[in-house]
Amino acid sequence: MEALGWVMLASMVAYAVHCFGRPVGEGRDFGSYWLYFRDFWASVPDYPMVMLYRTPGAPLLFSFLFGFGSWLVVQAYFTVSYCVINIVLFRLACHWSRLAGWQTVGIVFVSTEFFYVFNTVAMENPTSEMFVLWAASGFLSSFSMAVIGASCVLVG
């Protein structure tokens, strides 16, 4: 249990260090998210094609976060999700050994590609979170695996 606190602290430090090099920003889907959210509540949407090729999970998630505040709320969400995913990865790898857990999060900490997923407003963030949680749910029960798997399909 003590190791999880260290993983959380190390995750926050790693996230802060990465943020100095690349602040939170717009991803490749950012513009379509705004159009999707604006048209989501309209009876006749201005851009119906946006709603045909995009699932509602990620646009509504980020629009909800921006509705509560600014980029700071989105960055707080990214920070918490980065820490949670690192803790889950650590716990999964610890099924083999504690060293494997620390090696796994160490690789995640130095991976700029993994950080990019948790630092841009794009579909990759919620999809990656759901996929890792789905993989972790395999250790729980088939029901929880099915629920998280269905969430992956909805978000992704």
pLDDT one-digit tens code per residue, 42-54: 888 888 787 777 7
Tell me if 131 is assigned to some domain: yes
In a domain, 116, yes or no: yes
Residue 49's contacts (CB-CB under 8 Å, 6 or more residues apart) are none
Q: What is the pTM of this model?
A: 0.78
Task: State percent of the chain over pLDDT 90.
Answer: 2
Residue 59 included in any domain? no
Has residue 35 been placed in a domain? no
Task: Please work out, in degrees rounded to the nearest 5, the angle formed at the alpha carbon of residue 28 by the alpha carbons of 61 and 25.
Answer: 70
Distance CA 78, CA 121 (A): 9
pLDDT tens digit sequence for 126-153: 877 777 777 777 665 556 656 666 665 5
Which residue do the tokens 């006749």 mark?
Answer: 44
* Number of compact structural domains in the chain: 1
Q: What's the confidence (pLDDT) of residue 75?
A: 87
Residue 30 lies in a domain: no
Q: How many CB atoms lie within 10 A of CB 12?
A: 15
- The residue range of the domain holding 146 is 2-25+70-155
Residues 80-130: pLDDT tens digits? 888 888 888 888 888 888 999 899 899 888 888 888 888 888 777 787 777
- The answer to the question of residue 141 being in a domain is yes
Residue 88 lies in a domain: yes
Specify if 90 maps to a domain: yes
